[in-house]
Structure 1
């Protein structure tokens, strides 16, 4: 199982997963009440300040985790530049980057097993309908395959660039989907070989 926990130890690693996830939920919810760029910029600076105790390696790792977001930031920026809605575009970008950076901070400082334990406790009321362990396993698989899909896309783009001077564009989608389905099939076979999710 892939872990996104940072190898750089910080004081946040020692905090329990439940309170961290609760604070993240409250902080993310509050971002949607902020409508103008100035308070959102203050929230972004707050998240940045929370990264500083981890040191340069921790901050660089956090920036690398934000890399998949920059394409969305660029699309939103170009759209709002074209429509002339600079204020709302800036607010949207700040809200998006701040929320993802805060979520990454929690992910980097919390073991996946601890997050799954919290998720199982939250899903306990659904036990008569579906076992919480299965929901937790599905949650873990989503966390596992999101960065995996990013890696596959990057490899496909590199392979395209080595063979053609043109931009790949939409052409990488089909190979990426097939690779994701292949990974899912292999994971299902591995789970079945181990007896599945009890």
Structure 2
């Protein structure tokens, strides 16, 4: 499994996970209440400055982590361009980019076990309703960890397709990627059971 934590140490790494996740939730809610495109661009600029404040290597690493978002932004742009609502498309795309960049900043500067501990503490009251906080926390951790793994496998599968065919892969690699995901999930479940479960 891959880790999303940045290899470049910053002062944000020393902050506790709880306040960072709380700040992320508050900023995300505030961001999605913005209606003005100018304010959304200003928020994006502020996040870019925040990344750059921790050094160029850290900022470049953060931009690389955001690369998988570009296809979704392109689809948004094409759709809203086709429907003639460019301003709305730019606003939605801008909000998405800023929100993901903020979330990325938190995951890059927070250890996964610290985030799991916060999720367990927050969801502890749900135990009386039958929800197991540990299971929920581990499930969230697995999603965070496996997202870049699956994306990397999809990239490798796309490269293998291009090496063997002149046609574009498109939907043809969806089934192999789905089977890879199920296979990985099966192996992780076996590993968890072998270690005594949760």
Sort the TM-score into its range (normalised by shorter chain). over 0.9
- The answer to whether the 8 Å contact 1:44/1:94 transfers is yes
Q: State the SS of the aligned residue for 2:54.
A: helix
Alpha-carbon shift at residue 131 of structure 1 (Å): 2.4
In the superposition, the TM-score normalised over structure 2's length comes to 0.97
Please state if 1:6 is matched with 2:6. Answer: yes
Q: Which residue of 2 aligns with 1:40?
A: 40
In the superposition, the TM-score normalised over structure 1's length comes to 0.97
Q: Deviations for 1:18-65, whole angstroms, at most 9, x for unmatched residues? A: 111001000000111111210000111111111112211111111111
Q: State the SS of the aligned residue for 2:185.
A: helix
Runs of 4+ in 1 over 6 A off after TM superposition: none
Distance 1:117 1:111 in 2: 10
Alpha-carbon shift at residue 130 of structure 1 (Å): 2.7
Q: Deviations for 1:108-134, whole angstroms, at most 9, x for unmatched residues? A: 011111111110000100123132111
Unmatched runs of 5 consecutive residues or more in structure 1? none
Unmatched runs of 5 consecutive residues or more in structure 2? none
CA RMSD of aligned residues (A): 1.0
Q: Which residue of 1 aligns with 2:136?
A: 135
- The answer to whether the 8 Å contact 1:13/1:109 transfers is yes
May I ask how many residue pairs the two structures share in their alignment?
A: 197
Distance 1:191 1:16 in 2: 28
Q: State the SS of the aligned residue for 2:21.
A: helix
Q: State the SS of the aligned residue for 1:66.
A: helix
